[in-house]
Amino acid sequence: MKTKWKVTLGVIAVAFAGAGFAGYRQYQNKGIVTVQTGRAGKLDLVSVVTASGEIKPRNYINIGSNATSPSRISEILVKEGEHVRKDQLLAKLESIQPEADVEAQKASVASSQADSAASEAGLRAADENLKTLDASLDRAKSQLEQARIDFARTQKLFDEKLIARAEYETKRVSLSGAEAAVREAETRIPQARAQRAQLAAALSGTQKRIVMAEANLRRSQDVLKRTMAVSPIDGMVTNLPVRVGETVVPGIQNSSASLIMTIADMSLVTAEVKVDETDIVNVMLNQMAEITIDAIPNKSFKGKVIEIGNTAILRSTGLAASQSAISSQEAKDFKVVIALLDAPPEIRPGLSCTTKITTATRPNVLTIPIQALTVRQKGDLEAVVEGTAKPVLTPAQEKARKEELTGVFVIEGEKAVFREVKTGITGATDIEVVSGLKDGEQIITGSYKVIRTLRNQAKVKIDNKTETKSET
């Protein structure tokens, strides 16, 4: 019995001793935070903006129906994937009525031109007749003048009784005949001029009819031309959704019923991506990019930024923010177009792609891990003396205490000391430190929960062997 009691008392004593030692250790470690650390170091830093989108040709044109009414496709002259030239005929629509109208207008033009030619010939004849009548009048006037001279001389000789009355009468009759010839010639000229005026008016009418007939012919030819789909550029047929016999409807934008095919200029292929609004300010024209295409794995292609959108696009609808009534707090993107510098021949429009745009590079700069960076209010960094009353602050002082500072926790002895830093560009895992740290200084890098809740001047214990668990 004595031995049993001794063993029991020994066990109880050991238990009390262990509990006391554990309590002492717990008291000794009270307020100590376990952290992981790293060191500020110099690296070559590259800032990259990642965005996704699709492959698109820089220039593409949707070929639709330009006919004046719904028309059936009578012939398709190309295949999808085929290369075409500018002004090449691609497809034909039903054109029976337009062709008939063209022929009718051609006949009308020919008839009007024939009438015009006849009127022109009549007018030329009238002009020649007028010239002849003018010459006849001049000749008659000359003859009249000669007859007057002869009659005056005969009159004098007759008065002097040097000639017979018969000769006198003959000269008088000749004078009367010359006067009648002049009057007749003068009468014919107004008639000829009136006839010429009528012919000129007829010619003017036929010329107007020719103009109208030619205008109607051009209109009919334009209607006929609209039944023929012609390529406006050199390119490739990238979309051909219709077949012979289907009906296409003109004038309906963005409608499958109006689209015949799409012609794309594949000489310049682009990646059209959507960049988050928080990153767009860092994207500039001519920045280099690396493009990966889902359909072409294990390859990347070089590119250059050639266009940056100025209008925000709502992520949920794809509409411009200015055209939507949805709340302005919704996430937005901006369109960025990147020209591929080495596009492969097997590339196709519509392929999904991911781009990494290099927005900045910094060689050999001081960097820290991104997760080490944290934010604290200025008032939270002030030392608190135990036992002292909380001072009454003015509104300006209270506002100053709420000012947020960006910085890191630096290891100084056994404490974590918050230090404000100024940062530069951000890489994939590291961020540039412009001021506030020196190369090689030890900083707290984890865990995320510790960095988020750690207080200035807190006692810490470094344990870099502990694997940091991911925290939500």
- The model's pLDDT over 185-228, given as tens digits with 9 standing for 90+, comes to 788 888 888 888 888 888 788 888 888 988 998 998 888 888 88
**pLDDT tier at 255 (50, 70, 90 boundaries)?**
low
What tokens does 170 get?
A: 């003959």
Q: What is the pLDDT of residue 5?
A: 56
**Residue 342 — φ and ψ, nearest 5°?**
-140, 55
Q: What is the pLDDT of residue 10?
A: 56
Q: What is the pLDDT of residue 54?
A: 95
Residue with the bigger pLDDT between 418 and 392: it is 418
Q: Which CATH architecture has domain 98-225?
A: Orthogonal Bundle (1.10)
Residue with the bigger pLDDT between 392 and 86: it is 86
Q: What Cα–Cα distance (Å) separates residue 276 from each residue in 204, 241, 289? A: 70, 34, 16
Tens digit of each residue's pLDDT (9 = 90 or more) over 260-315 = 899 998 888 999 999 999 899 999 999 999 999 999 999 999 999 999 999 888 87
Residue 398 has pLDDT above 70, yes or no: yes
Tens digit of each residue's pLDDT (9 = 90 or more) over 353-373 = 999 999 999 999 999 999 999
Q: What is the pLDDT of residue 112?
A: 85
Residue 409 has pLDDT above 50, yes or no: yes
Q: What is the pLDDT of residue 470?
A: 43
Tokens 């696009």 -> residue: 313
Q: What is the pLDDT of residue 368?
A: 93
Q: In the chain, what are the domain boundaries?
A: 33-46+365-462, 98-225, 265-364
Contacts of 83 (CB under 8 A, 6+ apart): 234, 235, 236
Q: What is the pLDDT of residue 18?
A: 53
**pLDDT tier at 472 (50, 70, 90 boundaries)?**
very low
Tens digit of each residue's pLDDT (9 = 90 or more) over 53-105 = 999 998 888 888 877 788 898 999 999 989 999 999 999 988 888 889 889 98
Mean pLDDT, rounded, for 10-24: 52
Greatest mean pLDDT range, 8-17, 56-65, 334-343: 334-343
**pLDDT tier at 11 (50, 70, 90 boundaries)?**
low
Q: What Cα–Cα distance (Å) separates residue 152 from each residue in 24, 32, 47, 169, 356? A: 170, 156, 122, 12, 119
| 458-462 and 33-39 beta bridge pairing | parallel
Dist CA 33 CA 452 (whole Å) = 12
Dist CA 349 CA 94 (whole Å) = 31
Least confident of 130-134, 324-328, 456-460: 324-328
Q: What is the pLDDT of residue 147?
A: 83
b/e per residue 259-289 (b: at least 16 CB within 10 A): bbbbbbebeebbbbbbbeeebbebbeeebeb
**Residue 58 — φ and ψ, nearest 5°?**
-65, -40
Q: What is the pLDDT of residue 469?
A: 47
Share of the chain above pLDDT 90, in %: 34
**pLDDT tier at 14 (50, 70, 90 boundaries)?**
low
What tokens does 353 get?
A: 């792609």
Q: What is the 3-state secondary structure (H, E, C) of the chain?
A: CHHHHHHHHHHHHHHHHHHHHHHHHHHHCCCCEEEEEEECEEEEEEEEEEEEEEEEEEEEEEEECCCCCCEEEEEECCCCCCEECCCCEEEEECCHHHHHHHHHHHHHHHHHHHHHHHHHHHHHHHHHHHHHHHHHHHHHHHHHHHHHHHHHHHHHHHHCCCCCHHHHHHHHHHHHHHHHHHHHHHHHHHHHHHHHHHHHHHHHHHHHHHHHHHHHHHHHHHHHHCCEEECCCCEEEEECCCCCCCEECCCCCCCCCCEEEEEEEEEEEEEEEEEECCCHHHCCCCCEEEEEECCEEEEEEEEEEEEECCCCEECCCCCEHHHCCCCCCCCEEEEEEEEECCCCCCCCCCCEEEEEEEEEEEEEEEEEEHHHCEEEEHHHHCCCCCCCCCCCCCHHHHHHHCCEEEEEEEEECCEEEEEECEEEEECCCEEEEEECCCCCCEEEEECHHHHHHCCCCEEEEECCCCCCCCCC
Q: Does the domain made of 265-364 have the CATH classification 2.40.30.170?
A: yes
Contacts of 65 (CB under 8 A, 6+ apart): 71, 93, 226, 229, 248, 249, 250, 258, 260
Write the CATH number of the domain with boundaries 33-46+365-462: 2.40.420.20
